[in-house]
Amino acid sequence: MAESTLNSFSPVIAGTMSYGKGGKNLTEKEVAGLIKKTVSTGITTFDMADIYGDYTTEALFGKGFRKSGISRESVQFITKCGIKAPQLTRPEYKVKHYDTSFSHIIWSAENSLKQLQTNYIDLLLIHRPDPLMHPEELAEAFTRLQREGKVKHFGVSNFTPTQFTMVNDSFPLATNQVEASLSMRQPFSDGTFDVCLEHGIRPMAWSPLGKELLTGDSALNGLLQETALNHEATPAQILIAWLLKHPAGIFPVMGTTQHKRLEDAFHAQQIKLTRQEWFALWEAAEGKEVP
Q: What pLDDT digit, counting tens, does each position of 260-276 carry?
A: 999 999 999 999 999 99
How is domain 13-214+247-271 classified at the architecture level of CATH?
Alpha-Beta Barrel (3.20)
Residue 115 CA, distance from chain mean position = 19
* Distance in angstroms (rounded) separating the CA atoms of residues 226 and 237: 13
Q: Percent of the chain having pLDDT more than 90? A: 93
Over residues 194-219, mean pLDDT: 86
- Is the CB of residue 38 less than 8 Å from the CB of residue 259? yes
Q: Using one digit for the tens of pLDDT, what is the confidence trace for 60-76?
A: 999 999 999 999 999 99
Q: State the pLDDT confidence band at 214, using cuts at 50, 70 and 90.
A: low
CA distances from 33 to 3, 72, 193 (A): 33, 16, 35
CA distances from 136 to 68, 101, 166 (A): 39, 10, 10
HSE-up (13 A, CA, CB side) for residue 52? 26
The residue from 19, 52, 55, 98 that is catalytic is: 52
Instruction: Say what the pLDDT of residue 242 is.
Output: 98
Check residues 254 and 218 and name the one with the higher pLDDT: 254
Rounded (5°) CA angle 145-150-152: 85
55 in catalytic set: no
Round the average pLDDT of the chain to a whole number and report it. Answer: 95
| 3-state secondary structure (DSSP) of residue 288 | coil
Q: Using one digit for the tens of pLDDT, what is the confidence trace for 20-57?
A: 999 999 999 999 999 999 999 999 999 999 999 999 99
Q: What is the pTM of this model?
A: 0.96
User: End-to-end alpha-carbon separation of the chain, Å?
Assistant: 26
* Distance in angstroms (rounded) separating the CA atoms of residues 24 and 251: 24
Structural domain boundaries of the chain? Answer: 13-214+247-271
